[in-house]
Amino acid sequence: MRWPLNKDFAFTIIDDTDNATLQNIAPVYDYLQSKNFKTTKTIWVYPPRDIFNGKTIQDQDYLSFLLNLENHGFEIQMHNVGSGKFTRNEIIEGLNIFKTHFDRYPSMHINHSFNPDNIYWGHKRFGILLRSLIKLFKGKSRMFYGDETESKYFWGDLTKKHIKFIRNRVFNDINTLKMDPKMPYKESYKSLYSNYWFSSSDGHTLEEFNDITKGSNIDKLKKEKGLSIIYTHFASGFVDSEGKLNDTFKKNMDYLSKQNGWFVPASEILDYLLSQKENHNTNSLYLNKLDLIWLIDRIKKRLKYGR
């Protein structure tokens, strides 16, 4: 892949907002800004209604922090309107609140945990083979209704209208594009209520993030002229109880910042990928292959990290 500005590779981060507060994420963003990284931060509109915690844009100090991030080139996107159960009317209101504060609707959506309004989630997120196997052995398992018109949690028409990119699979390799070279793409099975789908690399916690961004992996990414979209949770231990930023994280990001990388938010990278190809569709064979790699990676992750 040839990257803009004659860069050797592309790198960005999508930060999941789960449990985020100013205390446990602001030092991370201060450091990223000091190293000239521009990344993507997801947010909630409403306070959580379930087991999760974290600040939302209802908190004025937190909102000011987010607006300042945006003014400095970071990207603010959505992780559902909140954590828990939110009806269609609440989702519509939440999207409008987002637009009021950020002068636009979100263009990227990340499904959150067990929210019933998740779009094409659970067994529906996969290709036909794995989807069929899950239904055969587990039934429909957890139910997600964001794409089901008869549900009070339906908002698929709004995702089709406003949301350009939705994240799906995660992989253990730092080079996301190597694992999913056709992204972002359309899936015919999901075309009624979604636009483009993309994958990410797994940096779920501090430990996993530091492992995947170690120097040898950065060198590998550079050699492959690849793309890394790392999905993580900055609230998961990147800052300790005394407000100190993790030293290994700082070391890895410092090394990365010295490389000739394209460090821009996720949607800018995905838009660039779209501009480089004419065919944005995919097929069942390709999706089934991704599912197999995803499943193997999930097993490897469980064995290595115990989660």
Q: Quick one: which of 6, 11, 41, 26 has its CA closest to 257?
A: 11
Helix (H), strand (E) at residue 29 = helix 22-34
As a whole number of angstroms, the distance between CA 266 and CA 251 comes to 22
Which DSSP symbol is given to 168? E
Q: How confident is the model at residue 143 (pLDDT cuts 50, 70, 90)?
A: confident
* Residue keyed to tokens 């993580």: 232
Q: What is residue 9's three-state secondary structure? A: strand
Cα-based distances in Å from 306 to 15, 68, 211, 248, 300: 22, 37, 15, 21, 9
Instruction: Quote the pLDDT of residue 136.
Output: 77
Q: Are 249 and 206 in contact (CB under 8 A)?
A: yes
244: alpha, beta or left? (left if phi > 0; alpha if psi -120 to 50): beta
As a whole number of angstroms, the distance between CA 298 and CA 306 comes to 11
pLDDT, one tens digit per residue, over 124-142 is 999 999 998 887 776 655 6
> Is it the case that residue 227 has pLDDT exceeding 70?
yes
Look up the CATH number of domain 4-305: 3.20.20.370
> Is it the case that residue 187 has pLDDT exceeding 90?
yes
Phi, psi of 261 (to 5 degrees): -105, 160
- Which residues are bridge partners to 262 per DSSP? 10
As a whole number of angstroms, the distance between CA 256 and CA 246 comes to 16
Share of the chain above pLDDT 90, in %: 94
Instruction: Quote the pLDDT of residue 139.
Output: 61
Cα-based distances in Å from 74 to 65, 249, 253, 263, 265: 11, 19, 16, 10, 6
pLDDT, one tens digit per residue, over 259-304 is 999 999 999 999 999 999 999 999 999 999 999 999 999 999 999 9
pLDDT, one tens digit per residue, over 146-161 is 999 999 999 999 999 9
Q: What is residue 20's three-state secondary structure? A: coil
Q: Span 106-135, mean pLDDT?
A: 94
Q: Count CB neighbours of 216 within 10 A.
A: 8
* pTM: predicted TM-score of the whole model, two decimal places: 0.97
Record the tokens describing residue 229, joined without a space.
Answer: 């979209």
Instruction: Quote the pLDDT of residue 133.
Output: 87
Q: How many residues does the chain have?
A: 307
Over the chain, what is the mean pLDDT? 96
Q: Are 256 and 218 in contact (CB under 8 A)?
A: yes
